[in-house]
Amino acid sequence: MRRVDELPLLGGQPHPQPLASHAPTLADMEGVASPTHTPQRATSPRPSTASARRPLSSRNRTESNGHAPDTPQSTSSAPPAPRPSFLRAKSDFGPRHNNEPVESTDEASSAEGNFKIRHGWDVQLDSEEYNNLLTSSFFMYYTDKKHETGGIPKGEVYPLQEWRMRDRLKTVSAVLALCLNIGVDPPDVIKTSPCAKEECWIDPSASTQTPGHTPMNQIGKALQTQYEQLSMRTRYKLLLDPTTDETRKYAQTLRRNARNERVLFHYNGHGVPKPTSSGEIWVFNRNYTQYIPLSLYDLQSWIGAPSLFVYDCSDAGLIISNFNKFAEKHQTETEEARRRDPAMEHIDYSDCIHLAACREKESLPTNPELPADMFTSCLTDPITMAVRFFILQNPLPSHIKLRDAHHIPGKVSERRTPIGELNWIFTAITDTIAWNSLSKPLFKKLFRQDLMVAALFRNFLLAQRVMRVYHCHPVSHPEIPQTHDHPLWRSWDLAVELILAQLPDLQAEARGEKEYIYKHSEFFSEQLTAFEVYLTQGAAQQTIPEQLPIVLQVLLSQVHRLRALILLSKFLDLGPWAVNLALSIGIFPYVLKLLQSQAIELKPVMVFIWARILAVDQSCQADLLKDNGYQYFINILNPSSGIPILNASEHRAMCAFIVAMFCKGYNQGQRASLSPELIESCLDHFKDMQNPLLRQWSCLCLSKLFQGYEEAKWMGIRCMAHERLCELIIDPIADVRAAMLYALTAFLGIRDVTTQVAAIEESVASMVLVMTTDGNSMVRKELVVFFSAFIARYKTKFLVTAFEHFFEDANTDLLTKREQKNSDGLYVKVRTSANGQQSQQHHCSENTIYSAIWKEMLVMSVDPHPEVARDAGIVIDYILIALMDSSLAEFIQPQITGVPKKHPAPRPTPRVQDEVPTQQTSVPSTPTKEPSYLSLFGGLRKTGSVAASLKNLWANDSTTPPRSPGRPNGEDLHAPPSDPRPHTPERYHVEEEPKSRGFVPRNLSKEPQLPLKSTFYEWSVEYFREPQMKPSEADEPGSTDYNGRLWRRNRNDKIIADTQPLKEVAVSNRWDVNRGYFDNLSQPMKLCFHQFEDHLVVTDNKDTINVIDYSKAAKRVNSFSNGNPVDSRITEVRFINEDDQALLMTGSSDGVIKIFRNYDRREKTELLTAFRALTDLVPSNKNAGLVFDWQQGRGSMLVAGDVKVIRVWNAGTEICTSDIPARSGSCITSLTSDQVEGDVFIAGFGDGAVRVYDQRQKPATAMVKVWKEHRQWITNVHLQRGGQRELVSGCRSGEVKLWDIRMDKSVKTIQATTDTLRTLSVHEHAPVFATGTQRHRVKIFDINNGQAVSHCEPYAGFLRDRSTAIATTAFHPHRLLIAAAAMQDNHVNIFSCYEPKNSALKTVKLYDGPGTLKRASTFI
**Contact status, residue 1395 vs residue 47, Cβ threshold 8 Å:** no
Length reported for the chain: 1420
pLDDT exceeds cutoff 70 at 1153 = yes
Q: Phi and psi at residue 354, in whole multiples of 5°? A: -125, 140
For residue 1239, the tally of other CB atoms under 10 A from its CB is: 21
Q: Which of 1014, 163, 1021 is nearest to 619 (CA)?
A: 163
Per-residue exposure over 506-527, b if at least 16 CB sit within 10 Å of its own CB, e if not: beebeeeeeeeebeebebbeeb
Cis peptide before 1031 (omega within 30 of 0): no
Counts of helices then strands in the chain (DSSP H, E) = 36, 44
pLDDT of residue 348: 80
- Per-residue pLDDT tens for 1114-1144? 899 999 999 998 888 999 999 999 989 999 9
For the chain, how big is the Rg over CA atoms in Å? 42
Q: Phi and psi at residue 923, in whole multiples of 5°? A: -80, 125
- Per-residue pLDDT tens for 843-877? 788 889 999 999 999 999 999 999 999 999 999 99
- Per-residue pLDDT tens for 85-115? 433 333 333 333 333 333 333 333 333 344 4
d(CA 184, CA 191): 11
How far, in Å, are 686, 853, 888 from residue 800 at the CA level? 38, 13, 9
Pairing relation of β-strands 171-178 and 262-268?
parallel
DSSP conformation class of 1398: -
d(CA 201, CA 380): 11
d(CA 127, CA 277): 100
- Per-residue pLDDT tens for 494-526? 999 999 999 999 988 888 888 999 999 999 999
- Per-residue pLDDT tens for 394-435? 888 778 888 888 989 999 889 889 999 999 999 999 999 999
d(CA 187, CA 179): 14
DSSP conformation class of 838: B
DSSP conformation class of 640: T
Q: Which of 15, 26, 28, 48 is nearest to 127 (CA)?
A: 15
**DSSP-derived secondary structure for 392-450:** HH--S--S--GGGGG---S-TT-TTSHHHHHHHHHHHHHHHHHHHHS-HHHHHHHHTS-
DSSP conformation class of 641: S
952 — pLDDT class (breaks 50, 70, 90) = very low
d(CA 1382, CA 1332): 9
- Per-residue pLDDT tens for 1307-1316? 999 999 888 9
d(CA 1015, CA 748): 18
- Per-residue pLDDT tens for 597-650? 988 999 999 999 999 999 999 889 999 998 899 999 999 999 988 777 878 899
**Contact status, residue 65 vs residue 106, Cβ threshold 8 Å:** yes
How far, in Å, are 363, 474, 807 from residue 276 at the CA level? 14, 19, 98
125 — pLDDT class (breaks 50, 70, 90) = low
pLDDT exceeds cutoff 90 at 1403 = no
Q: Which of 1086, 1091, 1051 is nearest to 1281 (CA)?
A: 1091
Q: Which residues fall within 8 angstroms of residue 582, CB to CB, at 6 or more apart?
A: 548, 568, 571, 572
How far, in Å, are 223, 289, 310, 460, 922 from residue 274 at the CA level? 22, 17, 15, 22, 94
pLDDT of residue 986: 59
- Per-residue pLDDT tens for 152-185? 998 766 667 778 877 788 999 999 999 998 888 8
Q: If DSSP codes are grouped into helix, strand and coil, which group holds residue 702?
A: helix
Q: Which residues fall within 8 angstroms of residue 58, CB to CB, at 6 or more apart?
A: 42, 73, 87, 90, 94, 135, 136, 137, 138
Q: Phi and psi at residue 1310, in whole multiples of 5°? A: -125, 125
d(CA 108, CA 842): 74
- With 0-12 CB in 10 A as exposed, 13-18 as middle and 19+ as buried, what is 25? exposed
First to last CA, the chain: 55
pLDDT of residue 91: 36
Partnered with residue 1116 across adjacent β-strands are 1108
